[in-house]
Structure 1
Amino acid sequence: MTKQANFYKDKVCINVLANSIENAKEIYEAIDGHILVGLLSKNYPTVEAAVEDMKLYSKEINNAVSVGLGAGDPKQWKMVAEISEELQPQHVNQVFTAVGYTRALLRQNETLVNAVVSPCGKVGYVKISTGPLSSKAEDGIVTVETAIEMLKDMGATSVKFFPMNGLSTIEEYKSLAEACAKQDFILEPTGGIDLDNFEEILTIALKAGVKKVVPHVYTSIVDKATGKTKVEDIIKIYEIIKRVVE
């Protein structure tokens, strides 16, 4: 089963939630597989239960599974790593400090492994102290260039900018996008992305020269009544992607 994520025109793949295998299948098909379906470790009582359930999803959507922390909870880092070791998914969400551990457990370089870095209020810099202990300590702030090189050292393939709060941290996001372009690194904007700002956020990254972008579009396209990610919104996002990439 493939571990390579399916990027549209080798540039864009979205990361979204699904509340069932049926929901995962319908949104996967709606965007021709240019998608990673986030399954959150926090929703499972044990690693074994998570692996068992996630394998069912994986069979139906060509392994386009993204193992998630759950609202960026750093306490979930070890569970995410251990699930990923067994599942061998296309994508893993991880805190900055746990990337090396996760890549070592995977024992291969095909799976995309991101690391959370956060806005810090200063353009050209990011907070990398996103682990379970470091997130409670004094902020660890480094330049965007240094953060990316540290991630490469640890075996990460992408940087997850979270929480970007939609367009409120846009200048910091632009700086990170420029660094990702220069250093040939995948960028994953996350937090507060919706149908209104998706195009601008994607366009900024691609115009900066980022080769691959993985926008996370979560609760804004989830039907509050059913908990399902809305197929019609996935189709709208796909049309935006086509327009921006073309």
Structure 2
Amino acid sequence: MSLNANFYNNRVCLNVLANSLENAKEVYEAAEGHVLVGLLSKNYPTVEAAVEDMKIYAKEINNAVSVGLGAGDPNQWKMVADISKEVQPQHVNQVFTGIGHTRGLLGQNETLINGLISPCGKPGYVKISTGPLSSKEEAGIVPVNTAIQMLKDMGCSSVKYFPMGGLKTRDEYEVVCKACAELDFIMEPTGGIDLTNFEEIVKIALDAGVKKVIPHVYTSIVDKETGNTKVEDIKELLKMVKNIA
């Protein structure tokens, strides 16, 4: 597995989408390597097609590939795991219940796997029932520290906190950030992040003492006509990162 030094050596790394290989290369260059490019499993008809395409991306952008579910869709968990086994990407997005299986298939501990947990309306607690079956039942709510330790038990690397709705869940987010700092865990805020709230969201995590923050900035910086992630917005986000990190 090839490593991207800029990703591993800095406190903040962007996670954004790319509409094409060319767009991915533009994004990677604009972010000066401080980025993971999200490629969504949902966009491929088969595991084989995804593996073939993602390996091309990995070669062109120093393996700065983040294998995604697609809007946190729990039904994509198995496809994500199977793709990741073959691609050996730098980053994997996974539902809470799919982490152990994914880590086992990867066969190594270097790839970062996040675990999807969600706000529940009560600071200090999170919803961990984000799998294909558990998400259909009554919400499984547990203390955030317990959730993080469970993630660690399964070989997880970071919290994917989704859907945040930008700063709408700020009170809950702040507690999760403090827990990540206390338990030496990576934080990935996701959902409703844009150019107007990005800096504040990242700063909350850094001020709490989180060792590494991977904010997901998706549709808010995608050009509606072309479907491309806007290079100028990536440059603006990087400028913000350099101001606060």
TM-score range, shorter chain: over 0.9
Report if aligned partners of 1:189, 1:216 keep a CA contact under 8 Å in 2.
yes
Amino acid at match of 2:41: S
How many pairs does the alignment contain?
245
Report if aligned partners of 1:113, 1:157 keep a CA contact under 8 Å in 2.
yes
Distance 1:54 1:82 in 2: 13
Alpha-carbon spacing, 1:5–1:73, altered in 2? closer, same or farther (3 Å): farther
Aligned to 2:168: 168
C-alpha displacement at 1:5, in angstroms? Answer: 6.6
Aligned to 1:120: 120
Alignment of structure 1 residues 115-194 onto 2, 5 Å = 115-194=115-194
Alpha-carbon spacing, 1:121–1:5, altered in 2? closer, same or farther (3 Å): farther
Q: Give % identity.
A: 73
C-alpha displacement at 1:3, in angstroms? Answer: 4.2
Distance 2:113 2:67 in 1: 10
Distance 1:36 1:125 in 2: 28
Distance 1:146 1:81 in 2: 24
C-alpha displacement at 1:6, in angstroms? Answer: 3.1
C-alpha displacement at 1:31, in angstroms? Answer: 1.1
Aligned to 1:48: 48
Distance 1:154 1:148 in 2: 10
C-alpha displacement at 1:129, in angstroms? Answer: 0.2
Report if aligned partners of 1:4, 1:110 keep a CA contact under 8 Å in 2.
no
2:204 equivalent to 1:227: no
Distance 2:106 2:58 in 1: 16
Aligned to 2:244: 244
Distance 1:5 1:119 in 2: 32
Aligned to 2:197: 197
C-alpha displacement at 1:118, in angstroms? Answer: 0.4
Aligned to 2:66: 66
Structure 2 runs not aligned, ≥5 long: none
C-alpha displacement at 1:7, in angstroms? Answer: 3.1
Aligned residues: CA RMSD: 1.0
C-alpha displacement at 1:242, in angstroms? Answer: 0.2
Distance 1:207 1:186 in 2: 14
Distance 2:34 2:112 in 1: 14
Alpha-carbon spacing, 1:158–1:49, altered in 2? closer, same or farther (3 Å): same
C-alpha displacement at 1:8, in angstroms? Answer: 7.7
Distance 2:232 2:226 in 1: 14
2:32 equivalent to 1:32: yes
Give the structure-2-normalised TM-score. Answer: 0.98
Distance 1:159 1:90 in 2: 16
Report if aligned partners of 1:5, 1:64 keep a CA contact under 8 Å in 2.
no
Q: Secondary structure at the match of 1:93?
A: strand
Distance 2:82 2:45 in 1: 13
Distance 1:220 1:31 in 2: 17
Structure 1 runs not aligned, ≥5 long: none
Amino acid at match of 1:16: V
